Amino acid sequence: MNTPNRNDIGVRTTADGTHISVWAPTAEIVQCKVEDLETLIALDRGEYGYWETNTNAIKTGDRYRFVVDGETYPDPASYSQPDGVHGASQVVDLSFPWTDAAYKVPAMKDLIIYELHVGTFTATHDFKGVIGKLPYLKKLGINAIEIMPIGQFPGERNWGYDGVFPFAVQDSYGGPKAFQELVNAAHAIDIAIILDVVYNHFGPEGNYAPNFGPYFTDKYGTPWGSAINFDDAYSHGVRDFVLANVRMWFADFHVDALRIDAAHALKDWSASHILQDIRRETDNWIETQDRAHYLIVECDLNDTRYLDSLDKNGFAMDGQWVDEFHHALRVAAGGQPDGYYSDFSGVKDLAKALQNAYVYTGQYSEHRKKFFGTETTGVPGERFVVFSQNHDQTGNRMLGERSSMLFSADMQRLMALTVMASPYVPMLFMGEEWSASTPFQYFVHHSDEELVEAVRKGRKEEFKSFQSEGETPDPQAETTFASCVLNWGEVDTGVHQAMLAYYEALISFRKSNSILRQVDRSVLTVQYDEGKSVIVLSYAFEEQLMVGILNFSSSLQSVSLDSAYTWERIWDTSDPAWGGSGPTADLFSGELSVAGATGVFFQRL
């Protein structure tokens, strides 16, 4: 199909002036109105619903809106919304003096990911605050930052999933230039940038896209509103829009990877699924630049088609979040098996997750009321991303409690070890590494009072059975947001300092251990004792043998290892260096006693 160059979507400055392109397939007249000017710029109707022109009547810094059949709206492909979601769009020159030509993103198996929310990561609530913490993250051992969505959303306080301008970098975070500065600074110290993007829905406030064309379809629904139109009439323009967004993050912002939110909610029965087209768009960019870029999906379907190659009609994503690993780990650690956790039974399921990534591989799920999942045979461990905390699993609790509020320091260290010793790609959630005491709650900053009240009511209804635990925090209140901002003063004090020392050492252990850094499921054998709540991990790589013992019970448990060998302790979560009550024996042969909520690793001498 001979469609316009999707790199030209929006208002782009060029050496010869400014190119304007907007998709409005059913409009009769489309014009561009520059703020404070009386003259309207006429656009020419092109093929497939595009309206375009080249002009010198608008330049970098100008604010503008489109006039569609007499009605005025901001640009759905705006690169900047300096006055918020209801204000005019602004022309931005996305050129930048990049100094990262020599940077190479690590291989997937070598990533140590750190998820953060820009607004609550530091007291400045912006990209400059993140730049200031890059040396800290480097010292911690992080080599990839995953940033929650930054597409323009209403107000200044939001998780980012209510964005309505996917091309515009949130103005309260600093806007596009500040984000480019962050990426460049991260690359300068060998830290990759993963950006969370939302292609399954738009937020409820400031969504002007439907005024231009059928960006949404009634064929499907999502938990967050109308589904984006990927396969209904006029869907070609919507697909162009998304693919242009993908390319923009790589080309104009040098982002290394995209984490695609709720990929299971991308409703598309086209011959080529939108994820497959995103894969092809990414591959074309990789080939052009000779530089690696990754695509990671959040998906709760336990379906390896998301990871299968294009020649198998898969979606060919490079990685997938594994929520089931998290759920099994939480229950094994003593978390309440309610809600979706009711499908998980502690160390038995955690052992399966450690070996297979998915827990449900075709058996019946009582929570889902159906047979669910598929096997992961042949899928490398580096294709799965695991964690003990993330924004969803923390923030979707009524009070937003972190693990630091729910589990002992001993259990927190054991959970972290389970993630880092898994044959998968590990991810931390900001502040986890020092057992941060601040919550991470749900917050918004809408201007529509009816919408605000609906959000409040929805949150209260969601947690009505938990009211004995206290009042549901008001998501609109600034105090809710403020309570979630990390307190960096904790880092160098008491238990927080000890936990940070533990995480730094644990990440170093993961990186330096010749077996763990293989991220290879085939070298791992997992056994468990449900009665003792103990998991034994046995690793065999080349001539090396290593054993990990994970005791999730609260009491001392005995474990037998092959008495033909002498085993040397190489890791212990109970080491006094980070506040533990141990350590376990340095050397042993045969029977070993391991304290409750403790993880110990031994290598064969």
Q: Tell me the pLDDT tens digit for each residue of 409-453.
A: 999 999 999 999 999 999 999 999 999 999 999 999 999 999 999
CA pair distance 29, 70, nearest whole angstrom: 8
111-179+192-217+257-323+357-508, CATH topology level: TIM Barrel (3.20.20)
Q: Determine the pLDDT at residue 8.
A: 79
Q: Which of 159-168, 385-394, 455-464 has the lowest mean pLDDT?
A: 455-464
Q: Determine the pLDDT at residue 38.
A: 78
pTM of the model: 0.97
* pLDDT category of residue 6 using cuts at 50, 70 and 90: low
CA pair distance 520, 515, nearest whole angstrom: 8
CA pair distance 516, 601, nearest whole angstrom: 11
Q: Tell me the pLDDT tens digit for each residue of 142-156.
A: 999 999 999 999 999
DSSP SS3 for 297: strand
> Which string of DSSP letters, residue by residue, matches 256-277?
-EEEETTGGG----SSS-HHHH
Mean pLDDT value across the chain: 95
* pLDDT category of residue 7 using cuts at 50, 70 and 90: low
Does the pLDDT at position 3 exceed 70?
A: no
Percent of the chain surpassing pLDDT 70:
98
**Packing angle, helices 409-420 and 494-512, rounded to 10:** 20
**Helical residues (DSSP H) of 513-580, grouped into ranges:** none
Q: Determine the pLDDT at residue 2.
A: 42
The two tokens of residue 129 are 């605050």
Give the residue numbers marked as catalytic. Answer: 261, 298
Does the pLDDT at position 592 exceed 50?
A: yes
Q: Tell me the pLDDT tens digit for each residue of 224-254.
A: 878 999 999 999 999 999 999 999 999 999 9
Q: Determine the pLDDT at residue 466.
A: 59
**Packing angle, helices 235-251 and 274-289, rounded to 10:** 30
Q: Are 381 and 357 in contact (CB under 8 A)?
A: yes
CA pair distance 594, 604, nearest whole angstrom: 18
Cα 474 off chain centre by: 24
Q: Are 356 and 368 in contact (CB under 8 A)?
A: no
Q: Determine the pLDDT at residue 372.
A: 95
Choice between 169 and 1, residue whose per-residue pLDDT is larger: 169
Domain edges within the chain: 111-179+192-217+257-323+357-508, 525-604
Does the pLDDT at position 587 exceed 80?
A: no
Q: Tell me the pLDDT tens digit for each residue of 287-317.
A: 999 999 999 999 999 999 999 999 999 999 9
Report the run of H or E that residue 526 belongs to, with start and end.
strand 524-529
CATH of domain 525-604: 2.60.40.1180
* pLDDT category of residue 164 using cuts at 50, 70 and 90: very high
* pLDDT category of residue 216 using cuts at 50, 70 and 90: very high
Average of per-residue pLDDT across 161-184: 98
Q: Are 524 and 538 in contact (CB under 8 A)?
A: yes
